[in-house]
Chains A and B, each alone.
Chain A
């Protein structure tokens, strides 16, 4: 019972990280039809910002916020410097630009900081367990789930209650008409990148809390998974990204926990077969995006 519950918590907390990352990809994709491959580097950058803030003896909550803000600002800077000049370019050029940004950032991390992992010291309370009667659950998994839920709720309030949030949903459906209403395209795109970066920052905080170190390639694997999650969910669909993220995280943890030991090396093969099955069943993803006209 104990193990099963703990595995469920792990599954949900990993799924939450994938969901936040996939959501970051989807927010940008839904508006500018760009798959931002530099998303992983945003996550890594947030990791280093958290590491640096802790080095300067800042309290943990402050350091985590610093990571989120750093990633959001970096995402907006990347949009301004790399993607805005390419606004009229085709999808392939945008894709290659995002690869270039990703490689440049990775080299900067490797040569400017260190190719080796930097340990991030977390307060010991976080690695403890809480006990509910007979059940022991890890603090990190619970905190991670709570933060994921808070982030999703905040984003959903933003998208439904604010003018900018409504504008972002409208931009995903018909950007031209949104501009006709007088809403500035550049501002909507900048905010979309900022939110995407902030989501990468939150994921970085959760990821580091579970692994305790930062390295230049930290963002690569989780963002690759998040990309798969976004595709399962329906590329460009925000609810789809969340569903896909949780589905993938839960599938990974459950296979990890309950596959027989001799089949464990093939865990990813099992997970990806499941992905293929989902896409055969629903080629546009679990919750397909509404395709609109884009400028």
Chain B
């Protein structure tokens, strides 16, 4: 495990994301510490995915985005991933007509070539043995859980230092949800910092070092995982009781 340093790994200051007339995120500030799991909570449309889109260059962002001493504002998605931030997008979005092999290949091809690329694919197949069984199948034929594993493996192919996971447990069977949360912890233990967007607040706060709660594009609450799990707002809104 990488030692935590005091300087924040990722700093978002006064971030606004606007699509035409709609402001999806308004004046959001947050910090992600190196080696931590940070959770972003909120209802549908609260601005969680827009925040991740801004961090990866997919959405037009105003405000400060600093990653390990580097400003991300105005960078294209192709560049940001080269600096070590990978997004595993909501809804998995694997390339359905491409094979599992080709999906993994494309995840790493911009970063490494030849034998190193093959070795990375091999490492992901060791991490996700089910993908080895499905290696030559088209990704669209996999089950939801398998597609989620593929999407995470594909994001890991760029060997990110910060992994953004957008609703990785959505629509999965309880057993697979367990696997996903175990995986998040094991990735953190391997030194990958995680920013996790989740609807499943209870499970997410359980593994989070820190959490932020968004409502209609604004930050309404932040604290450690335990603090948030005990807060009234979270209990009423997400934990049904």
Contact = CB atoms under 8 A, between A and B. Distances in A.
A183 B78 contact: yes
A173 B106 CA distance: 13
A167 B96 contact: no
Contacts, number: 70
Interface stretch (B22-30, B65-73, B80-88, B216-224): B80-88
B93 A181 contact: no
A170 B95 contact: yes
Contacts of A173: 95-98
B202 interface: no
Contact of A184 (B78, B93, B103, B157): B78
B12 interface: no
B109 A163 contact: yes
B95 A179 contact: no
Nearest to B107: A181
A165 to B, nearest CB: 10
Interface string A164-183: 00110110011011111111
B110 A181 contact: yes
A293 B155 CA distance: 18
Interface residues of B, number: 27
Among A176, A177, A181, A290, residue most surrounded by chain B Cβ atoms (within 10 Å):
A181
A185 interface: yes
A183 B106 contact: yes
A180 B95 contact: no
B102 A166 contact: yes
A181 B97 contact: no
B110 A183 contact: yes
A184 B107 CA distance: 13
B86 A180 contact: yes
Contacts of B158: 181-182
Interface residues of A, number: 20
B95 A182 contact: no
A180 B97 CA distance: 18
Given A163-B106, A176-B58, A177-B89, A182 B154 contact: no
Contact of B111 (A170, A182, A185): A182
Contacts of B56: 180
B62 interface: no
B76 interface: yes
Contact of B109 (A169, A177, A183): A183
A180 B106 contact: no
Nearest to A290: B97
Contact of A180 (B89, B98, B105, B111): B89
B97 A166 contact: no
A177 B103 CA distance: 11
Contacts of A176: 58, 77, 89
A182 B82 contact: yes
B105 A163 contact: yes
Interface in A140-164: 163
A173 B139 CA distance: 12
Contacts of B82: 182
Contact of A166 (B76, B93, B105): B105
Given A180-B86, A293-B93, 5 more contacts: A166-B105, A176-B77, A181-B110, A182-B78, A182-B82
Interface of A: 163, 166-167, 169-170, 173-174, 176-185, 290, 292-293
